[in-house]
Amino acid sequence: MRHSRWTVLTADDVDSALNLRNVEPICGFAPRDALRFKKAAGHKDLFYIDDKDVEFKEVGTYQQYSRFCYMLPYVCRFLRSHSCSSLIQFKDSFSITEDASWYCDEIAGLKSHPKTDSWKEGTDCCSWDGVTCDHLNAHVIALDLSCREVPSQVSHLSKLVSLDLSSEFGEQTIDKHALEGLVHNLTEVRHLFLDGMDMSSVNAHVFMNLSSSLRSLSLAYCDLQGKFPKNIFDLPNLNLLNLRGNQNLNLDPLKFNRSSNLEHLDLSWMSSSTESIDSVDNLQALKYLALSGNSFFQRLSVSITKLSYLEYLTLEGANFFGGLPDSMGNLVSLKCLDLRSNKLSGQIPLSILNLTQLEYLDISENSLEGSIPDEVTAFPNLKHLDLSDNLLNGTLPSWLCTVPSLKIIFLFQNQFSGHIKEFQSKSLELIVLQNNKLQGPLPSSIFQLLNLTSLALSSNNLSGVIEFSMFSNLPNLEYLDLSYNSLSLTSNTTSTVNHILPNLTDVLLSSCNLSEFPQFLKGLKSLERLDLSCNKIEGKIPQWMQEVGNVSLTYFNVSHNSLTEVEHFPWKNIAFLDLSSNLVSGNLPIPASTIRVFLISNNSFNGEVSSLICNASSLQILDLSHNNLSGTIPQCFGNLSDSLEFLNLKKNKFYGTIPPTFAEGCQLTNFNLNGNLLEGPLTPSILNCRGLEVLDLGNNKINDTFPHWLGNLPYLQVLVLKSNHMHGSLRVNSSKSSPFFSKIQIFDLSSNYFSGPLPVRYINSFKAIRNLEKIRSTVSYMGVNGRNGSGFYTYSIGIVMKGQDMELVKIFTMWMIIDLSNNQFEGGIPEVFGKLNLLKGLNLSHNNLSGGIPTSIGNLTSLEWLDLSSNRLSGTIPNRLADLAFLSSFNVSENQLHGQIPQGKQFNTFGNDSYQGNKGLCGFPVSKGCNIIEPAPPNVLEKDGSKSNITFGWKVVLIGYGCGVVFGMSVGYVVFQTGKPKWLVNLVEIQHEKMRRRKSKDGSRSNGRRRI
């Protein structure tokens, strides 16, 4: 107020003035008595107030004021001036923790925190950080103490109207008593924001008595416990309620009233035990609704679609199933719709075209099918579209190319077909269409999208020739992925591409019919990721590639080409390097110490591996398999304990000993030395690798007894010691009851010199194969995830499967295999094998086993191959084996078995070679028949329970000489293939019955004549 004729000014006067301006008077203070003005000397109409300045330290308790405003975030607005000295006093009244400004420094990038560091006496306080002054009179009007600089005395501010103590990542903790005091004192609070405060020791009922004047309450990610007070939802003035991210917070069943004024409701990611919500359609004022991560509804509730004022709806991961209702089109005010990560199915309703205000649409990661509704003028305001990872098909809608505001398109991982149409909009920034069935050439309009930053079209059926110079009009392009299409890329020009595409960081051109390194790469000094794999590039890496991303390149993949020479790896910060499956020979170059993933398998590298590779302290995955490398294994591999998880040296010519020392904290999960010339034993220090899942030492020259102590590795799933010189018994002498190899799934000790009985103790401990140890893996194959999203690397082993040597490039997580063949085991096959009900393959061949085949083998309902050949087994083949529905390979040859071979089902598919060398076996498919007298089936013509006397064995029956030999042989063949066909048995028995009756009648007549 510049001047006034009044001598009295009340708070109501100020409120009235603000109301005339349509400004809500939520901040300020009012004295109990009216403010008394004095006339200024020498001025006729100028008045002023003569009172003392208020000290900041007295603000919370100063009794003259009935209202004080603490604005968000941490902003205090005042209606009068305060001296700079008062700010200094306020600063001295609270403390700042050392890490209080971590978020601002590290995340927000604000380096001037804590703000109060700039508050120094003798300087102009209007220049201090966080202080705002009125530009007309230099009065302090606002304080900003954001980024978690929370005064410890804030609970004394009892007259607050608005308080924001929000924190990032739960850095601030508030205990039960402090919060109770705060809530108790805030009798006039209207806006309370405590997001991110750690309240894990607080029960939610503490908020039960909040002021009825409350308008906003935000408690997101506070780790609140217990049950949230239901009365909060009934507060008459409540506009905003945010309880997001409190996973231990429960709600009573909610039923909203029509009187509710809620405009913003966020109950996302709360307790899974939270009850249902009813009458959502009563929230007629609602504009923002977020229920993500909960299961309040099984289907998308029609009641939600009645909220005509709703602008923001997010239901991500809410476990919805079923289709989208047609009533979705009623949400005409909707600007944001997020239904991603649910179980939605069916088609997108045509009514969705009614949502003309929509700016953000995300229904990704569902099972939607059919085509996208199409109308040329649809979604005129849309900026972000994500329908990725569904089952959508048909052609791309026409509006996709005409919406003027559209910036982001995510339609990857669907089944779209047809051509990509010409884009008319120039606003597009991201186009992501990979993993579809799109065809034809790239539209020329793509090369005119000046704002385009990302273009991802990989894994389609796109065709045509693309000259790299066509990208010259895309100065903002950062990400380019054209991999796995039928495109042919050429670069006939050597123009200064570094000036044309200065921002390009990712170039992914796998399987693009390239025959050389593209010339357009020259000068791309900011390149970070380059994938040229699966092309036809020959020769060596050109010299100029040393300057491509010399400092910036972190990912380089040229696998599956025909490279023959690599001199060195010049990239200073390379983290991922894949040269596998080329023709490179010579010594192995060592990459920079920044390397994390180094893959050079399936080449012809030779010589020794330099110990310099151990300077790579972050090395996680190293695959040198299938080369001609020789010498001893660098002993330092055992010391890369902090990082190395995947070490594959398979199929080389390494000799000497296995690294004798594995440091504590060893991270190895896969250790593969198969197919070398190693002699030394494995030492117990490998027990330091507690996370080891796969250990493959097969096909070496290791001369040792069985390392029983390996059973103490808690996560070992695959153990391969095949084809070594290992010997001795597998009998366990320890009386300890702790299980051995409880997680083992593949156990291969074949082709060694082990002796004694089969290891009953171990077999009984194979809990994973017995289905007693739940397999928690969510992936299909065993492997390890590379850090920083560099991919998933599968383990591989070689096994004998169904009698054939096979290389498993990927190990299916459900493979359960035991191979103890080609040893000197003796004694019987223990019944305990019958407990391994997930077993898929069992090979005990070429041993000295005796006794019978246990009938418990018939319990192995998952068994696919069984090899017991070349032993001294006797007795019969249990008939129960015929019930093994998945058994596709069966070999019991070269034993001493006898009796009839089981018939039917899978046994009808096994050939003679499965049984050869067992002279006592008979029946199909061996040539020896079985003269077995079996009880015939009940006579279908006799109802008195008597049985036919006819027998029907495995001899070929020639039915009557009137039918001829051909018919007889045909019937015999059918009998061999199917057993005793019912129709044939009935036919023979009927004829036999007729003959019996005829004889019976003849006999009666004969006896009658004798009596006469």
* Per-residue pLDDT reduced to its tens digit, 292-301: 988 787 777 7
Instruction: Give the dihedral of Cα atoms 896, 900, 904, 906; nearest 10 deg.
Output: 0
Range 978-988 average pLDDT: 40
Contacts of 13 (CB under 8 A, 6+ apart): none
Q: Which of 198-231 are b and which e, b meaning 16 or more Cβ less than 10 Å from the residue's Cβ?
A: bbeebbbebbeebeeebbbbbbbbbbbbeebbee
pLDDT exceeds 90 at position 917: yes
> 3-state class of 106 per DSSP?
helix
Region for 686 from its dihedrals, namely left if φ exceeds 0, alpha if ψ lies in -120 to 50, beta otherwise = alpha
Supply the pLDDT for residue 321.
Answer: 87
Neighbours of 574 (CB within 10 A): 22
> 3-state class of 558 per DSSP?
coil
- Say which residue the tokens 């009934």 belong to: 234
Give the Cα separation of 95 and 114 in Å (integer). 11
pLDDT per residue as tens digits for the range 740-765: 899 999 999 999 999 999 999 899 99
Give the Cα separation of 581 and 90 in Å (integer). 69
Confidence of residue 838 (pLDDT cuts 50, 70, 90): very high
Give the Cα separation of 818 and 714 in Å (integer). 19
For 491-510, give the DSSP string.
Answer: ------HHHHSTT--EEE-T
Give the Cα separation of 471 and 477 in Å (integer). 9
Give the Cα separation of 840 and 769 in Å (integer). 9
Distances in whole angstroms, Cα of residue 755 to Cα of each of 449, 480, 729, 761, 869 = 73, 60, 5, 15, 17
- Say which residue the tokens 């990239």 belong to: 571
pLDDT exceeds 60 at position 521: yes
Give the Cα separation of 423 and 399 in Å (integer). 10
pLDDT exceeds 80 at position 825: yes
DSSP 936: P
Do residues 168 and 192 touch, judged by C-beta distance below 8 A? no
Joined together, the tokens standing for residue 281 give 């359609």
Give the rounded percent of residues in the chain with a pLDDT score beyond 90: 49
Supply the pLDDT for residue 112.
Answer: 44
Q: What is the mean pLDDT of the chain?
A: 79
pLDDT exceeds 60 at position 1002: no
Angle, helices 964-978 vs 982-1011, to 10°: value is 120
Return contacts of 207-212, CB within 8 angstroms, 24+ apart.
207/183, 207/232, 208/232, 209/183, 209/184, 210/183, 210/186, 210/235, 211/186, 211/187, 212/236, 212/237
CA torsion sign for 682, 684, 686, 687 is positive
Furthest-apart CA pair in the chain: how many Å? Answer: 170
Q: Which residues pair with 290 in a beta bridge?
A: 266, 314
Supply the pLDDT for residue 447.
Answer: 93
Supply the pLDDT for residue 273.
Answer: 63
Do residues 871 and 845 touch, judged by C-beta distance below 8 A? yes
Do residues 66 and 100 touch, judged by C-beta distance below 8 A? no
Give the Cα separation of 362 and 316 in Å (integer). 9
Range 770-790 average pLDDT: 63
User: Across 226-290, where does the E strand assignment appear?
Assistant: 226-227, 240-242, 249-250, 254-255, 264-266, 277-278, 288-290
Confidence of residue 29 (pLDDT cuts 50, 70, 90): very low
Instruction: Say if strands 792-794 and 783-785 run parallel, antiparallel, or are unpaired.
Output: antiparallel
- Alpha helices (runs of H) in 120-236, residue ranges in sequence order: 176-185
pLDDT exceeds 80 at position 955: no
Do residues 26 and 163 touch, judged by C-beta distance below 8 A? no
Neighbours of 120 (CB within 10 A): 12
The residue type at 260: S
> 3-state class of 163 per DSSP?
strand
pLDDT per residue as tens digits for the range 527-554: 999 999 999 999 999 999 988 988 999 9
Contacts of 501 (CB under 8 A, 6+ apart): 471, 472, 474, 475, 477, 520, 524
pLDDT exceeds 50 at position 278: yes
- Say which residue the tokens 């002279």 belong to: 919
pLDDT per residue as tens digits for the range 50-103: 444 444 333 333 322 222 233 333 333 333 334 576 667 656 655 555 554 544
Instruction: Determine whether 286 is exposed, middle or buried from the number of CB atoms within 10 Å of its CB (0-12, 13-18, 19+).
Output: buried
Do residues 100 and 147 touch, judged by C-beta distance below 8 A? yes
Contacts of 345 (CB under 8 A, 6+ apart): 321, 322, 323, 366, 367, 368, 369
Contacts of 849 (CB under 8 A, 6+ apart): 758, 825, 826, 827, 828, 829, 868, 871, 872, 873
Give the Cα separation of 580 and 948 in Å (integer). 72
Range 579-586 average pLDDT: 96
CA 757 to chain CA mean position, Å:
44
Give the Cα separation of 689 and 722 in Å (integer). 22
Joined together, the tokens standing for residue 441 give 């050439």
> 3-state class of 281 per DSSP?
helix
pLDDT per residue as tens digits for the range 95-135: 555 554 544 554 444 444 566 777 788 788 788 876 666 56
